[in-house]
Structure 1
Amino acid sequence: MTRPGTAARDAGLQPERTRLAWRRTTLACSVTAVLALRQALRGTGSPLEVTGVAVIALVWVAFLWVAHRRIRLLAAARPAGLTLGAAAGAALCTVALAVFAMAVIV
């Protein structure tokens, strides 16, 4: 008889669902970044707007890097868990992109 918690973990379809969720989140983040960039580029071209565009682009690229890395790790037969740093990075990029998008729209 095996003790609870010592049996081999059967991941089932969970890694596939998680990978698809990361792809959907990446798509939503990309749409938000494009809309924010479009709105910022329609402005007067002030240094503040140019800085905003640069920051939005950098945050978007950072999120793409975190998401792509996680999607690649989920392709393994036994994917490792999400590290605290990666989770914090993804959350920070998501919140920052939302804040910058709202700042550009308002």
Structure 2
Amino acid sequence: MSAPGPDRDAGLQPERTRLAWRRTTLACSVVAVLALRQALRGSGSPVELAGAAVIALIWLAFLWVAHRRIRELAAGRPRPLALRAALAAVACTTALAVFAMTVIL
């Protein structure tokens, strides 16, 4: 299969991908809020507050990666997702899930 030419019409694929990033950001936000709520529901010890701060930082990092990608997809011909951005999104998602599970347990 040959690579698409420069005059290729991308159709609705960038729009669908942009909407998928928005849904993923919303899901990540819900998980972060629930994890923060659970972390701050405790006694307010320094460990719990540090965990809440880490969860907030991970959430902000994911929002930064997602926002950059959503802006790139708004262009007429978006560039492919950079490996560094993909790894950052995976790392944020995994770290948020790990921290959320440690807070819950």
Decide: shared fold, TM above 0.5. Answer: yes
User: RMSD value over aligned CA atoms?
Assistant: 1.0
Q: How does 1:35-50 map to 2 (within 5 A)?
A: 35-50=34-49
Measured in 1, the distance between the counterparts of 2:3 and 2:38 equals 51
Shift of residue 6, structure 1, vs aligned partner: 5.5
Q: Is 1:93 paired with 2:92?
A: yes
Measured in 2, the distance between the counterparts of 1:85 and 1:21 equals 19
User: 2:55 corresponds to which residue?
Assistant: 56
User: 2:68 corresponds to which residue?
Assistant: 69
How high is the TM-score relative to the length of structure 1? 0.93
User: 1:5 corresponds to which residue?
Assistant: 3
Measured in 1, the distance between the counterparts of 2:24 and 2:72 equals 16
How high is the TM-score relative to the length of structure 2? 0.94
Shift of residue 47, structure 1, vs aligned partner: 1.3
The one-letter code of the counterpart of 1:88 is L
Unaligned 5+ residue runs, structure 1? none
- Structure with higher Rg: it is 1
The one-letter code of the counterpart of 2:61 is A
Measured in 2, the distance between the counterparts of 1:14 and 1:96 equals 29
